[in-house]
Amino acid sequence: MLRKLIQLIWFFTALNSYSQVVTVCPPNIGFENGTLNGWETYIGGVVGRRFADTRPVGTVVVNPSPFGRQDIIKRETLTDEYGHFSLNSPNGSEYVVRLGNSLNGAEAEMISYTLTVPKNVNSYSIIFNYAVVFEDRGHPSEQQPKFRARVVDVASNTASDCGSFEFVALSGLPGFFVSDIKKQPNADVLYKPWSPVFVNLDDYIGRTIRLEFTTNDCSEGGHFGYAYIDFNENCSIPVTGNIICPDVDEITLKIISGFFHYRWYNAETLQDLGDADTVLLSPVPRPGTRIAVELIPYPGLGCTQTIYTTISGIELSINDPPPDCFSVDLTAQSVHIGNSSDLTYTYWRNPQATLPILDPKAVTVGGTYYIMGRSSSGCVAVRPVVVVISPAPIIAVIDPEPVIYPAGIDITRSFPHEAGFSYSYWFNSDTTRRLPNPSSIVRDGTYYIKGISLSGCITIVPVTVDIIFADLVIPNTFTPNGDGTNDVLTILMDGKVNIKYFKVFNRWGDVVFTTIDIENFWDGLKDGQKVPTGVYYWLLEGVEDSAKYTRSGSVTVIR
C-alpha cells in the first residue's frame, strides 16, 4: 500500500488576548464520520497514449463522480507497502482517505472541499501534511505520475502560491527516498514521508476558497502514483506548552514537526529563542508574553509563515451540552470550545476526579459530572458539566373499543398523558397529514399519535380505530368551495365490501368522476374544472361475501 497523508489544521489566533481560542472546523473536514460528506470527488485520466486527447500529454482530465478511487479507511496498525511509514494519521483520527491506488492505467483522481473563511477572525491559516509515493520509469516529466495540492480563491479561480505545489516522479526530488521494494524491475518507487505546508489565509478572510488534491498515474499507463489524506479536526493554533503552572521554572513550547527550519523569538523584544520544533524557556516568561515561531518550509514547498502564541495561566471553560434523548458525548468539541489547544481532557463523576466516567462519549444518566483539563506542562483545572437526558415520551396506547356509526371515537383518550410532553394526531406515520378532529373520528383505520418532549425528543405510535357501519353511508349534499368543511364527497361503508368502482354522473348521463379506491373522495371537479351546482347521480358496485353488491343514489353539489 502506498500512502500520502495530508493533515489540515485550521486555526484562529486571538492577537490581543492571553488565551488561545479554539475554532470549530468545517464539517467532516477530517472524514471523522467515516464518509466523504462535504467533499467533492472526481475521477478521470491523464492524456497520453492510453487516454488520447487533443490536449497536451500529461494533462489531467477528471469529472465529478460519486463512486471512484477515493476510499475511506478506518484506523488500523498498518504500514505503507513501499515507504514503510504508518498508514494511521499522525493526529490520531479514526479515518483517512486513499486517493488513487497502486494499479496502472493512466488513471487520475481528485477530491476538493469548498469553504468560506470566517469574517470575525484576526488570523486564519492552514497547515497540511502530506506523504507522496510514485513509481518512476524515467519518462519525460510530462508523462510521469504526479501529485498536486492547490488552495484556490473561488471568486478569481487563482491558486495561492504558498499553498499550491506539484511533485513529479523524477529522481533527485528533495526529501524523497527510493523504496527497497519494486513493483516492476525497471521502475523505482519513490516516496516522501510526512511533510507539512503552512498557508496563511489572512488575505482570504470572508472569502470562499477551495482545497484540491489530485494524483495521477504515468500517462503511458504503466506506472502509478497515489496518496492517503487526512485532516486534523482540532482547528486551533498548533503550539503546545504555552500554559504555565504556579512555581514552575521552565516550560517547553512545541510546534508541528517536519519543516525545513524554525526560528523562535520573543515577539516583543525580538530575542531569538531556538531553531528546532521545540524550545525550552527558562526562566518562564511572564503571562501575556507573545512568542513567535517562523515555519520555514523546504524550498518550493510553501512560504515562510509566522505563528504567534501567548503565555498564560491555565484557563478552562466548559460548556454544558444540549439536552439529548438518549446520551450525551462529553468529549465533543463543542463542550471544550474556547480553550487552549494545549489542553487534554479526562472525565469524572466527582469533583475530586477520583471516580472516572466509564464511557464519556455516551453518558446516559443526567446529572453533574466533572471535566479535568491538563496542560502539557502539567497544570490541571476541574470544572463541572451538567448533563440533561430528556427521554422521548412513552405512549402506552390502548386501542379503543369499536363503535357503531354515526358515533365517533376520541383517540386523544386512548393513552395516559404525561406532564411536560405535547401530543398531536396524524393520518400517516410520517406525520405530514394532521387529523382535523382526533376527538371524533368516524372512519375506521390506523392513525398515529406523536409525542414530543421539551427538548424535542419524539415518539410516534399507531392507534387502530374500528367503526362499524350497518351499510353504506354517503351524504346527499356537499360543498366543494375550499373552506375546509365538507369539501369532498366522503363514503363510509363496511370494510368487508371489495369495491369494483364508484362513479358519479351528471343529469345527461356523462361520467364526471370515477375511482376504484373508496378513499379517493370526489372533490367536485371534472378534468380539473369545477362542475356546476346541481344534482348528480352516483353508482357503486362491488363484491360482498362472493355476492354482487350494488348501491346508487344522488348528491347535490352546493357552492
Confidence class for position 172, pLDDT limits 50, 70, 90: low
Task: Look up the pTM and report it.
Answer: 0.58
- The pLDDT score that the predictor gives to residue 269 is 95
* Residues 31 and 64 placed together within one structural domain of the fold: yes
269 and 122 within one domain: no
Residues 425 and 533 in one domain: no
- Outline where DSSP puts E strands in 419-472: 422-426, 445-452, 458-465, 467-468
Other CB atoms within 10 Å distance of the CB of residue 345: 16
pLDDT of residue 171: 63
CATH number at residue 525: 2.60.40
- More confidently predicted of 116 and 51: 116
pLDDT digits (tens, 9 = 90+) for 53-63: 889 999 999 99
pLDDT greater at residue 52 or residue 235: 52
Q: What is the pLDDT of residues 250-295, one digit of tens each?
A: 899 999 887 889 999 999 999 999 999 999 999 999 989 999 999 8
Number of domains in the chain: 5
Query: Is residue 13 predicted with pLDDT exceeding 60?
Result: no
Exposure class string for 129-162: b at 16+ Cβ within 10 A, else e = bbbbbbbbbebeeebbbbbbbbbbbeeeeebbeb
E strand intervals along 222-342: 225-229, 243-244, 251-254, 261-266, 272-274, 278-281, 290-296, 305-310, 312-313
Same domain, 73 and 215: yes
Write the CB contacts of 375 (distance below 8 Å, at least 6 apart in sequence): 241, 243, 245, 314, 340, 342, 343
- Same domain (yes/no): 217, 257: no
Q: Is the pLDDT assigned to residue 219 strictly greater than 80?
A: yes
26-37: pLDDT as tens digits: 888 888 889 999
Q: Does residue 496 have a pLDDT over 80? A: no
* pLDDT recorded at residue 194: 79
Cα separation, 224 vs 83, in Å, equals 14
Residue 200 lies in a domain: yes
Q: What is the pLDDT of residues 325-382, one digit of tens each?
A: 889 999 988 898 878 777 889 999 999 999 999 999 999 999 999 999 998 878 899 9
| Residue 1 located in a structural domain | no
Same domain, residue pair 87 and 196 = yes
Question: Does residue 165 have a pLDDT over 60?
Answer: yes
Position 327 in a domain: no
Average pLDDT, the chain: 86
In this predicted structure, the answer to whether residue 20 has a pLDDT above a threshold of 50 is no
pLDDT, one tens digit per residue, over 149-161 is 899 999 999 988 7
Same domain, 494 and 352: no
pLDDT at 236: 66
Residue 397 forms part of a structural domain: no
The answer as to whether 131 is a domain residue is: yes
Q: What is the pLDDT of residue 23?
A: 56
On whether both 371 and 409 belong to a single domain, the answer is no
- 515 — pLDDT class (breaks 50, 70, 90): very high
Residue 281 lies in a domain: yes
Whether residue 438 has pLDDT greater than 90: yes
If pLDDT is split at 50, 70 and 90, which confidence band does 64 have?
A: very high
Q: Are residues 144 and 111 in the same domain?
A: yes
Q: Which three cell numbers stand for residue 92?
A: 490520531
318 within some domain: no
Q: Are both 27 and 176 inside the same structural domain?
A: yes
Looking at 468, 486, 521, which one is the last position of a domain? 468
The reported pLDDT for the residue numbered 2 is 30
Q: Are 104 and 224 in contact (CB under 8 A)?
A: yes
- Indicate the pLDDT class of residue 460, thresholds 50, 70 and 90: very high
Q: Please indicate, yes or no, whether residues 29 and 74 belong to a single structural domain of this protein.
A: yes
| 306 and 455 housed in the same domain | no
Domain encompassing residue 495: 477-557
Residue 128 vs residue 102, higher pLDDT: 102
Is residue 15, in this structure, part of any structural domain at all?
Answer: yes
Higher pLDDT, 167 or 368: 368
Residue 211 scores a pLDDT above 50: yes
Supply the Cα-derived Rg of the chain in whole angstroms.
Answer: 35
